[in-house]
Amino acid sequence: MSKVKMIKNAVDRMIPTVVNGVKQTPFQGVGKYKPNGNKAALPIRSCSDFPTDGNKTVKSLQSALQKCGLKDGMTISSHHHFRNGDLVMNQVFDIAAKQEIKGLRWFPSAAFPCHKPIIEHMKNGVVDWVEGSLNGPIGDYASHGNMNGTAVLRSHGGRWQAVQDGEVHIDIAIIAAPTADAFGNATGDRGPSACGLLGFGLVDSMYADKVIVVTDNLVPFPCVPWQIQGQNVDFVVVLDKVGEPEKIISGTTKLTKSPDRLYIAELTAKFVQAAGIIIDGFSFQAGAGGTALAFAIFLKEMMKDAGVKARFIRGGSTKYLVEMLE
């Protein structure tokens, strides 16, 4: 809990000048703040420190964490492509607890209700605080002032910016991967636990000191496509199961049934039409909320009626968008 000096920013909000020991810059207006200097960089590595046969597998997650030099106060990162179906991160912090590690910072792209057990690890001091999107129980825990550090909420782009600009240094990145090879190339689009893509973990793989790929589908080199590249990976661990893809559909990603929300979605589509946006080659993005999904369905009908084709749609993808592509 910070009792540090507060200052007013450009939108008249009071903000702390220091958070978790890091000096903060107040918001200065859209497009006003332009930092200079260089981006963060990694130490130079040598191939001679890695197996020439490309086999980076180790026998367990515990052994990989040990080889990465897991110790007190480190920052451990992970991605959230499994959303509420992640099976890896609770295991990571259980291992840290067993080894009596303290004061870790967990830096996920997002935490979900499935990560509730990590609250116990905050109570027993293994994890100091969670720095990432806090959906559900961990957010509630933090809202009551129980977390040992201050929550820092960032957008997806802001998380990349923070790592790239050196605001957050990742000691160990854990990348759950539905398919990987022993060299560390990995993809999310195939395998029994396929979760789509691994884009949120990409910055972690590029900037972390140590990178562990955890998979339940090890294929012979090369794993293609390779959204995560083996040249950035230290160790590969094979587990029975890394995630439950059926739990990707969680939280906000359900189509609304409420008549009011459907009406709002329809009005939104009609507005887009009236504004002259639905023309050949246009682009749009609709979020994961139930109303946004309904909007996409109304829009699709309008596009059909008008014989209009979009150039691109930005996902989060759902079956409704896939129908429009196929």
Residue 33 engages another protein in binding (rule: CB under 8 A): yes
Q: Shortest distance, CB of residue 107 to another protein, whole angstroms?
A: 13
Size of the site for another protein (CB under 8 A): 116
Peptide bond into 178 cis (omega under 30): no
Angle at 210 between CA 183 and CA 58, to 5 degrees: 45
Residue 326 engages another protein in binding (rule: CB under 8 A): yes
Residue 8 engages another protein in binding (rule: CB under 8 A): no
Is the Cβ of residue 57 or residue 295 nearer to another protein in the bound state?
295
Residue 53 engages another protein in binding (rule: CB under 8 A): no
Is the Cβ of residue 94 or residue 244 nearer to another protein in the bound state?
244
**How far apart are alpha carbons 121 and 98 in whole angstroms?**
11
Residue 253 engages another protein in binding (rule: CB under 8 A): yes
Could you tell me which stretch among 40-48, 50-58, 62-70, 277-285 binds another protein (CB under 8 A)? 277-285
Residue 47 engages another protein in binding (rule: CB under 8 A): no
Peptide bond into 316 cis (omega under 30): yes
CB 232 within 8 A of CB 211: yes
Is the Cβ of residue 188 or residue 230 nearer to another protein in the bound state?
188
Q: Which long-range contacts (CB under 8 A, 24 or more apart) does 272-277 make?
A: 272/299, 273/302
| Number of alpha carbons in the 13 Å side-chain half-sphere of residue 25 | 9
Q: List the one residue from 40, 97, 288, 297 that touches another protein (CB under 8 A).
A: 288
Residue 194 engages another protein in binding (rule: CB under 8 A): yes
Q: List the one residue from 90, 161, 229, 231 that touches another protein (CB under 8 A).
A: 161
For 174-235, give the DSSP string.
EEEESEE-TTS-EESSSSTT--S--GGGHHHHHH-SEEEEEES-B-SSP-SS-SB-GGG-SE
Residue 203 engages another protein in binding (rule: CB under 8 A): yes
Residue 252 engages another protein in binding (rule: CB under 8 A): yes
| Number of alpha carbons in the 13 Å side-chain half-sphere of residue 309 | 3
Smallest CA-to-CA distance from 91 within 125, 69, 73, 64 is with 64
Q: Shortest distance, CB of residue 148 to another protein, whole angstroms?
A: 11
**How far apart are alpha carbons 215 and 157 in whole angstroms?**
26
Could you tell me which stretch among 21-29, 56-64, 96-104, 169-177 binds another protein (CB under 8 A)? 21-29
Residue 231 engages another protein in binding (rule: CB under 8 A): no
Is the Cβ of residue 99 or residue 271 nearer to another protein in the bound state?
271
Angle at 39 between CA 33 and CA 41, to 5 degrees: 160
Q: List the one residue from 106, 107, 160, 183 that touches another protein (CB under 8 A).
A: 160
Q: Shortest distance, CB of residue 127 to another protein, whole angstroms?
A: 16
The amino acid occupying position 216 is D
